[in-house]
Structure 1
């Protein structure tokens, strides 16, 4: 169900030190570091992300749900649009994340960044 979760951090450097240490005790480590965001996980799969967002309206929670295929991502997007959700990114490939990453992003009624993702495109 849950593919990955992301939080925004007011003090990015402090959060990096904190999560490097505490997640390391659980066997998790940095899997991807793209500057303003770091993905922690195991075996090359980042499942928990931290992002640099010191203040402002972009300090939302990001939650990604695992989809079965591209059609499921598109269905998620259509359902959200029909319910009046703000579209952050329509369904598309995201090669900057990794080859085959296909996702769509919307805002839920509380303003959170909610995504459906399929990794097999």
Structure 2
């Protein structure tokens, strides 16, 4: 349904470092940088897998309400790897990886806090009759 989404950031480069480190197990990498002014001005940065920027970080102000986004993981091991990368990066872990049966029996996710206070997640969906 979605083609891309963007988040405002107090410090784009801090957020780029967070997302590319923590979500590297999902293939998250810088796909495109767009200058917003003279050299040294903050950039708008598009992140994604395989060079396709689908998650955009832009200079902005803090928001009063957190945003939430869940990045799809190819398997549970990738969700666990995101958790490990978050710990190594010093990120706040809101909820360690586990099955969330209240969403559906095969919903396996980890919930984290990004540098701007947003709730970000890596999730793998295992449906009945499908392997882990």
Instruction: Provide TM-score, normalisation by structure 2.
Output: 0.47
Relative to total residues, which structure has the larger strand share, 1 or 2? 1
Structure 2 Cα separation of the partners of residues 85 and 58 of structure 1: 20
What is the CA deviation profile of residues 61-82 of structure 1, one whole-angstrom value per residue up to 9, with x for unaligned ones?
Answer: 0010000111000001110111
The alpha carbon displacement at 1:58 in A equals 7.8
The correspondence of residues 31-70 of structure 1 with structure 2, limited to 5 A, is 59-70=65-76
1:118 aligns with 2:124: yes
1:106 aligns with 2:112: yes
The alpha carbon displacement at 1:59 in A equals 2.1
Q: For this pair of structures, how many residues does the alignment match?
A: 67
In the alignment, which residue of structure 2 is the partner of 1:73?
Answer: 79
In the alignment, which residue of structure 1 is the partner of 2:21?
Answer: none
Moved over 6 A (4+): none
What is the CA deviation profile of residues 31-89 of structure 1, one whole-angstrom value per residue up to 9, with x for unaligned ones?
Answer: xxxxxxxxxxxxxxxxxxxxxxxxxx982000100001110000011101111111100
Structure 2: gaps (5+ residues): 6-62, 127-131
Secondary structure of 1:109 counterpart: coil
Structure 1: gaps (5+ residues): 6-56
